[in-house]
């Protein structure tokens, strides 16, 4: 074991205590198993390995790979529904995702590396709740909703609510819903990662900017199309800053990235004319 300021960290998986394995076939069975004390859901396990090394207590692992419906992708009433078990590679290359939100699909295809993208899922990326992971930044800007099945029944949350941990133990994320895909322009900038990433969604005259970083939860501001990006980014709260970059510097970066993305949108519109 290593002693770090954050506590004891096991450098290998050999120190993991034995646990029971559940392999449910339906959402209902998964939630029943997931509600047990010490139960942990598992999808691609790419983050769980790190969690085990960080000292995760797990009495039973609920593997979700056989659960019906979690890998579904569907377009419904202008919204795009993505199952929580859709792997990064599959989602980024899915015909319906590419047709509905081409730049989101392209951004999704750039996260992590090829090996991780084959196994790791959108649901695991969100539910790991690590500020350095990018899905919540993109989905927050897109106004996505998160659909859960919990031991108490269905639950629907705004993507931003994830960081408040409002759902009960045993809540299973089943899908992510992006509304009104027909009326949205989306852009994503990760060139300044890990200091700052920026996702922008434009719907009509309203621009939503969500700024992420390795170190703090994503923050969102809304502005009108045509408003000065630097002024809009200045409205980001002080909590956007931390020891790695002051709030003032992150606001500056956010303004630069926002301007870049809005310029890219203008160029695309000109090309399309
Ligand atoms: C080398 C490497 C590079 C990476 N690079 C990037 C990157 O550039 N950008 C980026 O955004 N991410 C990156 N990641 C993170 C990666 O995207 C996540 O590890 C991955 O998406 C997690 O998905 P998973 O299916 O493996 O989740 P798992 O590891 O199986 O689970 C992760 C967490 O989510 C919980 N969970 C899983 N599914 C559900 C569910 N349906 N309901 C409720 N809880 C659930 C689990 O209990 C666990 O706490 C990287 C990871 C690695 C290992």
Task: Provide the pLDDT confidence category of residue 173 given band limits of 50, 70 and 90.
Answer: very high
CATH-assigned architecture of domain 184-272:
2-Layer Sandwich (3.30)
* Residue 245: count of CB within 10 angstroms of its CB: 21
Cα(74)–Cα(81) distance, integer angstroms: 5
Report domain extents, the chain: 1-53+71-179, 184-272
Over residues 17-42, mean pLDDT: 97
Tokens 């993109």 correspond to what residue? 138
Q: Whose CA is nearest to atom 31 of ligand 1?
A: 124
Helix (H, G, I), strand (E, B) or coil at 196: coil
Check residue 204 and give its pLDDT: 96
Residues with CB under 6 A from ligand 1: 40-48, 51, 64, 84, 111-113, 116, 120-121, 123-125, 127-128, 133-135, 172-173
Q: Whose CA is nearest to atom 40 of ligand 1?
A: 173
Cα(199)–Cα(221) distance, integer angstroms: 11
- % pLDDT > 90, the chain: 92
CA distance to 66, 114, 263, per residue, from 260 (Å): 43, 27, 5
Go through the chain and tell me how many residues it has: 273
Cα(71)–Cα(203) distance, integer angstroms: 28
DSSP 74-90: EEETTEEEEETT-BHHH
Task: Provide the pLDDT confidence category of residue 74 given band limits of 50, 70 and 90.
Answer: very high
Check residue 13 and give its pLDDT: 65
Check residue 7 and give its pLDDT: 55
**For residue range 204-216, what is the model confidence (pLDDT) as tens digits?**
999 999 999 999 9
Check residue 11 and give its pLDDT: 57
78 in Cβ contact with 179 (< 8 Å): yes
Tokens 């593997």 correspond to what residue? 63
Mutate to test the pocket of ligand 1, among 42, 56, 136 (most ligand atoms within 8 A of CB): 42
What phi and psi values does residue 218 have, to the nearest 5 degrees? -65, 145
- Residue 30 confidence (pLDDT) above 70: yes
State which fold the 1-53+71-179 domain adopts.
3.30.465
Check residue 247 and give its pLDDT: 96
- CA contacts within 13 A on the Cβ side of 93: 7
Q: Which atom number of ligand 1 is nearest to the Cα of residue 134?
A: 11
- What does the mean pLDDT of the chain come to? 94
55 CA → ligand 1 middle, Å: 17
pTM above 0.85, yes or no: yes
DSSP 105-164: HHHHTTSS-HHHHHH-BHHHHHHTT-TT-SHHHHHHHTT-EEEEEETTEEEEEEGGGGGG
| Radius of gyration over every alpha carbon of the chain, rounded to an integer in angstroms | 19
Check residue 16 and give its pLDDT: 84
The vertex-135 CA angle with 249 and 153, nearest 5°, equals 125
Cα(161)–Cα(144) distance, integer angstroms: 11
- Residue 1 confidence (pLDDT) above 60: no
27 in Cβ contact with 68 (< 8 Å): yes
């Amino acid at each position: 074991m290593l002693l770090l300021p954050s506590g004891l960290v096991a450098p290998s998986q050999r120190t993991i205590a034995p646990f029971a394995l559940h392999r449910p076939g339906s959402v209902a069975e998964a939630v029943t198993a997931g509600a047990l004390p010490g139960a942990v859901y598992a999808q691609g396990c790419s983050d769980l390995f790190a969690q085990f090394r960080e000292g995760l207590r797990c009495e039973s692992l609920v593997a979700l790979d056989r659960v019906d419906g979690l890998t579904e992708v569907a377009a419904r009433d202008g919204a795009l529904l993505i199952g929580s078990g859709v792997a990064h590679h599959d989602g980024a290359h899915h015909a319906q995702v590419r047709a509905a939100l081409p730049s989101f699909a392209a951004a999704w295809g750039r996260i992590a590396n090829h090996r991780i993208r084959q196994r790791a899922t959108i649901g695991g990326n969100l539910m790991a709740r690590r500020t350095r992971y990018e899905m919540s930044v993109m989905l927050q800007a897109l106004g996505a909703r998160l659909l859960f099945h919990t031991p108490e029944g269905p639950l629907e949350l705004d993507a931003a609510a994830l960081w408040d941990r409002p759902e009960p133990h045993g809540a299973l994320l089943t899908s992510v819903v992006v509304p009104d895909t027909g009326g949205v322009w989306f852009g994503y900038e990760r060139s300044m990662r890990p200091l700052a990433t920026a996702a922008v969604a434009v719907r009509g005259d309203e621009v939503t900017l969500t700024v992420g970083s390795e170190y703090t939860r994503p923050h969102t501001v809304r502005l009108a199309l045509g408003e000065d990006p630097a002024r809009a980014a200045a409205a980001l709260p002080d909590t956007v800053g931390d020891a790695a970059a002051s709030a003032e510097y992150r606001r500056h970066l956010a303004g630069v990235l926002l301007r870049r993305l809005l310029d890219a949108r203008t160029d695309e519109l000109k090309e399309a004319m």
